[in-house]
Structure 1
Amino acid sequence: MAAAKLSPRQKMINLMYLVLMAMLALNVSSEVMEAFSKLFDSSEKTIETSVEKNKEILSELKTLSKENPAQYEDLYNTGQKVRELSESLVTELNILKTKIINSVELDEDTGKLPAANMDKSEVLDNYLFSGSGTSKAGKKFIETVTNYKIGMLQLVGNNSAVKNQLETSFNTEGTKVDGAKIPWLNYNFYGLPSIGSLAVLSSMENVVLSVENETLSGFISGRLKKATSANNLEAFVKLNKNTFSPGDNVEATVFLASKDDTKVPNEVKINGTKIDLKNPKNFEDGKIVYKFKAGAVGDRPIVGSFTFVENGKSVVVPVNGNYSVVAGSNQANVSADKMNVVYRGLENPITISMPGISPTKIKASASGLVKKGGSSYMLKPGTGTTVNINVTGTTDSGETIKSPPVTFRIKDVPQAMASIRGEFGSITMPKTSLAKSSIAAALPDFVFDLNLKVLSFKVKVPGKTTVIVNGNRMNSQAQKAIASAKRGDIVTIFGIRASIIGNSSYKLKEVLPISVEISN
């Protein structure tokens, strides 16, 4: 299994375990026995603290499960199973620890274990092993450790750090030494001094409590992490009112909310109606779905409350909203999407709709009008100065409603302006640069983004004959004429003809000229 990130506390426990194994490989001496004793005392103190911490965390899960059953009840039940598994192994470890401690007499002066006299291994050797191998008690101990690991792996979820610790510390499959596989029980306990075995057992208990702590803490932090994750955020827009007239000031409040379908409120009321939270259709993605029919014309409120229980107290979150009901109308809503006029020869986008009538039951007619789909139309006017759009619609009851004609003015595309390097009108530049420049045409501030192509233009240099150029770049004659210009001369680019790319049939007006003052 790939290594996972361990907590600092778990790293300390692992280090103590490694130190212990290394010391067991040394010649047993009174100093080593004393070191074992210190490791045992240190582990026992940590155990006392860990037991209290784990009780507090499980108690917190119990309280949360009562306040928010949908969110925490399953986690609390799983936490209880974790506690039961931990207790089963801790009980077995304490049986072995008690046998070792009861086999010696405590120091009369200090009350501590006589570590120097605990260099024999008979206590656990006789209890865990027999002449044929492992004793009945030893087999039970191995079975308890194995069942603990298997059971915990099923309960810890996706906590990779805890899984790694379980696989590392409670693998009872045996260890290979010089090519031979030594059983786990023999490798860890057979022939070891009693004080060393006592330290190993205490270290194992420490690991069990640490795994329990990491698992229970992960249940709570995992819930909080999910609730605060950006993946659970949803953006909402709240308007200062729900209906507007043209020219009204609109105020919008945009905010983020965390959605969690497991955080079910204890009670929800909307407009005096208590919502049935047991019906899944009423609660989706952490949100209440409230459906109703609109009332009479006018402003209507949407008010109510969410009630949660936290820390034994009710927390009420108010709901304040409104909606507006407007009367139906036989006036079609027709607007030009980009302008208040339409332009001759161009495809002008038009939106046509009628309140309360499906776009499929609306008919619109005008010279050059084509439906694109839904409420979208395209109007390409021809001759004349105005165009009328006539709209009719059919209601669900079969009634035909005819809107008064909507009139649009027809205008020609305005004159384009010549440009060099994106500059219009009168500009200044060196004659060498002008000779290499291309001539472009554009419609600054026009409502349509039209791409224009220059077809030809004329160049007039003071004292020289006007040169006609085909295309958009200076020819050799124009370049020669420009080369003769003096500083301060005004070179005029005029008589420019251009076309619309993709609509070459439309005849644009002659492009406005550009003047260039020679700077050197």
Structure 2
Amino acid sequence: MAGKVDTRQKMINMMYLVFIAMLALNISKEVLATIGVINEDLETSIKQLSNDNTVKYATIDNLQSQPEYQVIYPFVQLLKSKSDTYVSYLSDLKNELLDSDKEGTKYLRDVKNKSDSSKPNQQMTDYQIMDKSGPLDELFFERSELLEPGALYRDNFINFNKDLTSIIDSIASNDPKYASDEVALKNLQSVLSDLDSRFDYPEDGLKLNSEGKELDFMDYEFKGFPLVASLSKMTKTQNNARYVENKLLSVILGEIAVATTGGGVLQAYLKTPKAQYFSGEVFDGRIIMGQKSTSFDFEEQDLKLQFPGSTQPRSLVEGTDYEIEEGQIVFKKKLSQTGSYKLVGSVTKLDDRNVTTISIDEEFSIIEKPSTATVEAIRMNILYEGLKNPVNVVLPGAVQLVQVNQSESNVTLASTNIAGANFTAKPVAGATEAFIQVRGLINGQPSVSEPKPFRVKKAPDGIGAIENDKSYPSGSTVSQFNILNGQISGYKPADFDYEFNVEVTKFIISVGTNQALTINGNFIEGLAEDYVRQAPAGTPIIFSSIEAIGWEGNDKSEAFAYKVNDFTLKKQ
């Protein structure tokens, strides 16, 4: 709706009021930095408005040959020229201020990344040292007189208002629709009102300050203010210029659309009751007519997304979950959860002629993106007992997969975030065979997969060693100290691509020709300890019948029996 201030602009105005209030405080480094942040937020807003203006100009350029655009095209070109010239002038002036300090103060700093030296340096503006008014005062003023650069700033400020007023008046006079349509004329006049409020210059050139004194306009706006304040004020003026330019372009495009098609260009769209079809199904899509316009303005959006498995929709936030771009709501929310989603809510269009609320109730599905071919090594369909085996279970076209027949399948599926897998499969203890079967929704209808059989095997035997200051595998010559203080350990084979912990619980030790001794635990103790001490150098020490447990992660309660191979050491 023309004349309406959007949410972003309201936020900018509020931040600017906060900035003005801060100037009344004792300017600390924190306050200066905060004003700097506001200045950078305004710069971001300027870029967004400039990008939107570029799109609007391109639309008019492409349609300039059509009768509705021929009348206003010269004035649009003049608007672009005047706006670009004024904004560029302010940019050059700000750059000059940052380079104008006679004391050699560096406001622009080349900052090196100390955390990551491989990254390039970044140029940053040091707002915390902009607490002096000198750079601008020296440029604009000499005691009570206004110097030439100051007078140029004042004249450009006044002339921008005059130039755009002339353009708006010319559009109203030359385009017949504004003479015949009161709402269209009102929308155009609202731009003029906005222009006057943002570029207000008193007739006598004086402004009343809070102490009741009338000051010259330039003294009131700039004299004696910290550099960061003046810099931000100029940025705010640039933002005002781009905002008025954007609003005028929106009115021009909107009124042409209303006059020609009632608000948008009719286009044909294909709508289907479901997201995907399979061979042999009846395709029941339909063609509908809809309006599409880059000047379409959403008054309100109440959008919610219901996630798979949830009954409570979550509200979507503009700027985070979606953006308004070229008269369209563009969703930018990354959805990682597969399943059926429901988009509900409404959008409201208000254009002074009527209010239209459009209800939204749509469904869509998210499925895993195929990145590799499905290849099966038929003789390698193996699940390892006691371990959570990563598996990628796919039922083409289906979402919300869950396991079925768990009690009969000898395996338990659990969701996982392991790369390349969507489930882990853990066989029950003692099983030699298992199968995996899942159920999912295809276009909202349940579908069950065929059972997929697997062999169940025990994990490969571990490699035995004794560990103290380091690990001593079979065949190592080890000192008496490391033998007696070392822990009997086991390790999974290096080429076995599963990660789990191993703890020895029982073993048999044979020291030379002495009798073999059974030890519970994982350290040499008792009589075996005496045998080791008495044995001469070179005596073989054999560790056999090694029993152990294995477990994944930190949960030892789900440990499984694990065998460790025999190994032999020599006493040093």
TM class by smaller structure: 0.3 to 0.5
Taking structure 1 as the reference length, the TM-score comes to: 0.43
Taking structure 2 as the reference length, the TM-score comes to: 0.40
